[in-house]
Amino acid sequence: MAGRESLDTYECWSDDPGDGSRKAEDLQTISLRSRSVTCRMLMRLVKSDRYLCVATRLRYDSVAPCTVSIHFNLHTDNPAEWVVGRELLSAGRYELSGSGDVRVWPSQILDGVVFISLRSGTEIEVLAASARSIEMFLKRTHLLVPPGQEEQHLDMDGVVRQLTNQPL
């Protein structure tokens, strides 16, 4: 893939109310007070004749410990957001993961590339992302909420209050 090296463009930080935003390169560990991890990376939209660069932001919040929000086309008038399972994103680095509107799988040809397929109605878009960047992002989310401990971070009382329109 021409220009594949630019897929490793990656910037990550932890949102910590006490310290503001800090780049991950400045962090040895993420404080337990941190509630979210946000990373910007470059992905490429795969078209039949070319790859189009897409500025992307991944965000993980311990309040919703099972999901990752992916924002595409950050610098446009029409940004798009998809919410995907953290485990789906993690598993897709090694094997085909997902069976619905979101699927993730490692490239069999391009080393270090993960594909993400997004389906909305009849339209399907495929993006190529750096496996290394996704791995670095997921490692930071695992510092906030280790895999298997997501249930401990769910605010079920808050969800019930929202569903029943009770005051928070």
Token representation of residue 153:
């971070």
Look up the pTM and report it: 0.73
- pLDDT of 32 > 90? The answer is no
At 56, is the pLDDT very low, low, confident or very high (cuts 50, 70, 90)?
A: very high
Q: Judging by beta carbons within 10 Å of its beta carbon (0-12, 13-18, 19+), is residue 138 exposed, middle or buried? A: buried
Minimum mean pLDDT range among 9-23, 59-73, 76-90, 111-125: 9-23
CB contact at 8 A, 33 and 117 = no
